[in-house]
Amino acid sequence: MLWLRIIYLVFALTLLTLLMLPFQLLGLAFDLKIRRWLPRFWHRVACHTLGLKITVHGTPDKNRPLMLAVNHASWKDIMILGSITDVVFIAKTEVRDWPVFGMLARLQKSIFVTREQKRSTGTQVNEIAERMAGGEVVVLFPEGTTSDGNRLLEVKSSLFGAASTAVEQVPGGIVYVQPVAIAYTGVHGMAMGRYHRPLVAWPGSLTLLPHLVGVLRSGALEVDVTFGDSVAFKRGDNRKHLAVSVTAAIRRMLQQSLRGYWR
């Protein structure tokens, strides 16, 4: 049964990718709006195929420019967020060369950053700011890595500097930063305890294929996605204060979901 699910997953997503690829390439070549919403359809199919049951609390802010600051536990976070709204992700440069995921990241026109090279930080932040100023919703994983799904790791405030840069480039001088919490809460129709939650988290020490097999073996997974109240970041505001405020909101929403607040 497990191998049938794997075959079905590979076949369905490969076929879907091949059918959508020409249209996405055309959208990328001419910067058409289709390049933004086609990935959302792909992510929705991928989530359904993987057996992810997503419950959304709140809504993405309609104000622009908008940055979503989200906790990060797994590669599935990308599919989950991508299935809810049209977004562009910030990813580390190494992702560009990953098999399969690297190609998908490039097709979605992700923003690749090199955290170790401080000299390039300004250019990277400018690109993020330009994309936000252009109306795209940018997703930031401020932890900089994946957690075990039970907690929020220490948040790195440096990339919030993109909000500061974007403020100078947009009419009105305001950027909206919305905290979002993703919590894996159920498996096999039952509440997921602390012990089982790492089964769906991807801390990075585990290679992708064994983790994917584990996800498929687990069956249907329930996920809570909570959108909090946006913070209006204005010219002259402190990005570190912004980071503290957004971090507190993410941590609170994550714990509420993990403790069954929505059940």
Residue 196 has pLDDT above 80, yes or no: no
Q: Determine the average pLDDT of the residues in 109-130.
A: 72
Angle (CA) 154-215-223 rounded to 5° is 60
Residue 223 has pLDDT above 60, yes or no: yes
Higher per-residue confidence, 38 vs 220: 38
- The percentage of the chain sitting over the pLDDT mark of 70, rounded to a whole number, equals 86
Q: Determine the average pLDDT of the residues in 235-248.
A: 91
pLDDT-derived band at 119 (thresholds 50, 70, 90) equals very low
Q: Determine the average pLDDT of the residues in 58-85.
A: 93
Under DSSP, is residue 190 helix (H, G, I), strand (E, B) or coil?
Answer: strand
For residue 197, what pLDDT is reported? 67
C-alpha neighbours within 13 Å on the C-beta side of residue 160: 26
175: left (phi over 0), alpha (psi -120 to 50) or beta: beta
Residue 156 has pLDDT above 60, yes or no: yes
- Of the listed ranges 143-157, 189-203, 225-239, the one predicted with least confidence: 189-203
* pTM confidence score: 0.90
Residue 211 has pLDDT above 80, yes or no: no
Per CATH, the architecture of 2-258 is what? Answer: 3-Layer(aba) Sandwich (3.40)
45: which residues sit within 8 A by CB, 6+ positions away? Answer: 12, 13, 16
**Neighbour-count burial for 167-204, b at 16+ CB within 10 Å, e otherwise:** beebeeebbbbbbbbbbbbbbeeeebeeebbbbbbbee
Q: Where are the domains of the chain?
A: 2-258
Q: Determine the average pLDDT of the residues in 43-54.
A: 92
Higher per-residue confidence, 101 vs 22: 22
Q: Determine the average pLDDT of the residues in 208-218.
A: 66
pLDDT-derived band at 204 (thresholds 50, 70, 90) equals low
pLDDT-derived band at 6 (thresholds 50, 70, 90) equals confident
Residue 117 has pLDDT above 60, yes or no: no
Residue 121 has pLDDT above 60, yes or no: no
C-alpha neighbours within 13 Å on the C-beta side of residue 46: 23
The neighbour count for residue 42, using CB atoms within 10 Å, is 21
**Neighbour-count burial for 86-114, b at 16+ CB within 10 Å, e otherwise:** bbbbbbeeebeeeeeebebbebbbbbbbe
For residue 198, what pLDDT is reported? 65
